[in-house]
Amino acid sequence: MDTANFFLQALLTADMTIRVSVVLIFACLAGLFSERAGIFDIGLEGKMLISAFFTAAVSYQTGYIWYGVAAGIAASLVFALIHGVASITFRGNQLISGVAINFLASGLTVVIGHAWFKKGGLTPPLSDAERFHEITLPFADTLRDVPILGPIYADVISGHKLLVYVAMLIVPLTWWLLYRTRFGLRLRAVGENPASVDTAGVSVVRYRYAAVLIAGVLCGLGGAYLSTSQGAAFGKEMTAGRGFIALAALIFAKWRPWYALMACLLFGFLEAISNLFPNINVFGLFEIPVQFTQALPYILTVVILAGFVGKAIPPRAGGEPYVKER
Amino acid sequence: MDKMPRWADVVLIPLISLMLAFIASGLVVLAIGENPIQAITVMVKGALGSTSGLGYTLYYATNYMFTGLAVAVAFHARMFNIGGEGQAAIAGVGATLVILAFDWPHWALALPFAIMGAALFGGFWAAVPAYLQAKRGSHIVITTIMFNFIAAAVMGFLLNGVLKNPNTQNAETVKFPAGAHLPTAHEMLAPLGINFSKSAPLNISFLLALLCAFLVWFLLWRTRLGYSIRAFGQSEKGAKYAGISAFKIIMISMFISGALAGMLSINVVMGEQERLIKEFVEGAGFVGIAVALMGRNHPVGIILASILFGMLTQGGFELLWEMPNISKEVVLVIQGMIILFTGALDYMVRGPVEKLFLRMHKGA
Q: pLDDT for A66-95, tens place per residue?
A: 999 999 999 999 999 999 999 999 999 899
What is the SS3 string spanning B80-97? Answer: CCCCHHHHHHHHHHHHHH
For residue A255, is it within any domain? yes
**Alpha carbons A66 and A62: distance in angstroms, whole number:** 10
Task: Measure CB to CB from residue B336 to each of A100, A248, A305 and give the nearest one.
Answer: A100
What is the SS3 string spanning A59-109? Answer: HHHHCCHHHHHHHHHHHHHHHHHHHHHHHHHCCCCHHHHHHHHHHHHHHHH
pLDDT per position as a tens digit, B192-222: 988 899 989 999 999 999 999 999 999 999 9
Strands A160-161 and A280-282: unpaired
B1 — pLDDT class (breaks 50, 70, 90): very low
Q: Residues B258-277: what's their mean pLDDT?
A: 96
A279 — pLDDT class (breaks 50, 70, 90): confident
Residues of B in contact with A248 (CB under 8 A): 142, 146
**Alpha carbons A202 and A191: distance in angstroms, whole number:** 13
In angstroms, the separation between the Cα of residue A180 and the nearest Cα of chain B is: 30
Task: Mark out the alpha helices in chain B (DSSP H runs).
Answer: 6-7, 13-31, 36-48, 51-76, 84-101, 107-136, 140-159, 185-189, 205-222, 224-234, 236-241, 246-262, 264-265, 284-294, 299-322, 330-338, 346-363
> pLDDT at position A7, please?
87
The enclosing H or E element of A160 equals strand A160-161
> pLDDT at position A310, please?
65
For residue A141, is it within any domain? yes
Which pairs from B116-120 meet CB under 8 Å and 24+ separation?
A: B117/B91, B118/B91, B118/B92, B118/B94, B118/B259, B118/B262, B118/B263, B118/B265, B118/B266, B119/B91, B119/B94, B119/B259, B119/B262, B119/B263, B120/B94, B120/B259
Nearest CA in chain A to B139: A305
**Alpha carbons A94 and A314: distance in angstroms, whole number:** 15
Q: Which of residues 232-251 of A touch B (CB under 8 A)?
A: 241, 244, 247-248, 251
For residue A193, is it within any domain? yes
For residue A177, is it within any domain? yes
Residue type, B134: A
User: Taking a C-beta distance cutoff of 8 angstroms, is the pair B200, B54 a contact?
Assistant: yes
Report yes or no: A106 at the B interface, CB cutoff 8 Å. Answer: yes
Q: Residues B83-95: what's their mean pLDDT?
A: 97
> pLDDT at position B2, please?
54
User: Taking a C-beta distance cutoff of 8 angstroms, is the pair B157, A274 a contact?
Assistant: no
Domain housing A55 = 3-305
Strands A280-282 and A286-288: antiparallel
Task: Measure CA B304 to chain center.
Answer: 12
For residue A232, is it within any domain? yes
Report yes or no: B277 at the A interface, CB cutoff 8 Å. Answer: no
Other Cβ atoms less than 10 A from the Cβ of A214: the count is 21
Residues of A in contact with B138 (CB under 8 A): 302, 305-307
**Alpha carbons A163 and A16: distance in angstroms, whole number:** 15
Q: Is the pLDDT of residue B54 over 70?
A: yes
Residues of A in contact with B156 (CB under 8 A): 291, 294
User: Taking a C-beta distance cutoff of 8 angstroms, is the pair B42, B323 a contact?
Assistant: yes
pLDDT-above-70 percentage for chain A: 98
**Alpha carbons B42 and A326: distance in angstroms, whole number:** 51
> pLDDT at position B68, please?
97
Q: Which of residues 125-154 of B touch A (CB under 8 A)?
A: 132, 136-139, 141-143, 145-147, 149-150, 152-154
Ranking A103-112, A179-188, B61-70, B235-244 by mean pLDDT, the lowest is B235-244
Residues of B in contact with A307 (CB under 8 A): 136-138
For residue A318, is it within any domain? no
User: Taking a C-beta distance cutoff of 8 angstroms, is the pair A230, A23 a contact?
Assistant: yes
Top-ranked range on mean pLDDT: pick from A91-105, A299-313, B253-267? B253-267
The enclosing domain of A154 has a CATH number of 1.10.3470
Query: Count of domains in chain A?
Result: 1
> pLDDT at position B364, please?
59
For residue A86, is it within any domain? yes
Which is nearest to B75 in space by CA: B221, B223, B234? B234
Q: Is the pLDDT of residue B4 over 80?
A: no
Q: Residues B266-274: what's their mean pLDDT?
A: 96
For residue A292, is it within any domain? yes
pLDDT per position as a tens digit, A110-125: 999 999 998 878 889 8
Task: Measure CA B250 to chain center.
Answer: 20
Q: Is the pLDDT of residue B37 over 90?
A: yes
In angstroms, the separation between the Cα of residue A128 and the nearest Cα of chain B is: 28
Residues 6+ away with beta carbon under 8 Å from B69: B212, B213, B216, B260, B288, B292, B299, B302
User: Taking a C-beta distance cutoff of 8 angstroms, is the pair A83, A255 a contact?
Assistant: no
